[in-house]
Amino acid sequence: MTKKERYSAFVDYFLESFPEPETELRYNNPFELLVAVVLSAQCTDVRINKVTPALFEKFPTAEFMATASFDELFELIRSVSYPNNKSKHLMGLSKMIMEDFGGEVPVKHEDLQKLPGVGRKTANVIVSVLYNQPAMAVDTHVFRVSKRLGLVTQTAKTPLEVEKQLVKNIPKEHIHKAHHWLILHGRYVCLARKPKCEECKITHFCRYFEKNTGIRNQN
């Protein structure tokens, strides 16, 4: 199976089976999504969704959160990973949004990365989810699944290398969806320690399955 055929099979399958994927983080506006994504770093979406209702009830916008104290935020997010740093990030990004961006979450990738706690991956998530821009956020699921499927080379050692290969080969109009396809497949089927190959519907183009079973993929 060629690289082009593998990518085509990947896109065709998910367009048919999961045409409108969405993030599992719960939010009501762009600011809430930004906060949820920042909090989700090295933490599960399930945990974040338990924390954010109370947080957003008290601080639903950057204007409200910019007035919050460290102790107020820490108390509300103390059960997530790295609550000290994330409390500082939320304070900082809220104030910057108010002072530099008129109270609105920036639209441009480079502006988003100016915010405290927002790196390339977080910025990719925001522009992809909110604006359907062709950005590929590479988390541990995307990194693992894209390699197992054979969409990217095993020599890709960094998230940026994986991102570049995926963006190059996935049709531009589907990149924002492919981000979710890879994450959700990794979260529920292609698990890190014990992938559920017996339940997987895409073994027919999976390099990992071919390698571990000896069953050659067919075009």
Predicted local confidence at residue 4, as pLDDT: 93
CA distance 65 to 91: 7
Residues of the chain with pLDDT under 50: 219
Distance CA 135, CA 172 (A): 9
> Beta-carbon neighbour count of residue 215 at 10 Å?
12
SS3 156: coil
How far apart (Å, rounded) are the C-alpha atoms in residues 131 and 22? 13
**Residue whose token pair is 């924390």:** 51
Residue 115 makes CB contacts below 8 A (sequence gap 6+) with 34, 92, 93, 96, 97, 106
Q: pTM for the whole thing?
A: 0.90
pLDDT at 217: 58
Active site positions, annotated: 121, 139
Angle between helices 83-100 and 30-39 (to 10 degrees): 150
Residue 213: per-residue pLDDT = 74
Question: In a 10 Å sphere around its CB, with 0-12 CB exposed, 13-18 middle and 19+ buried, how is residue 155 labelled?
Answer: exposed
What was the pLDDT predicted at 214?
62
Structural contact between residues 158 and 122, judged by C-beta atoms closer than 8 angstroms? no
pLDDT at 1: 84
Q: Residue 18 has what pLDDT? A: 95
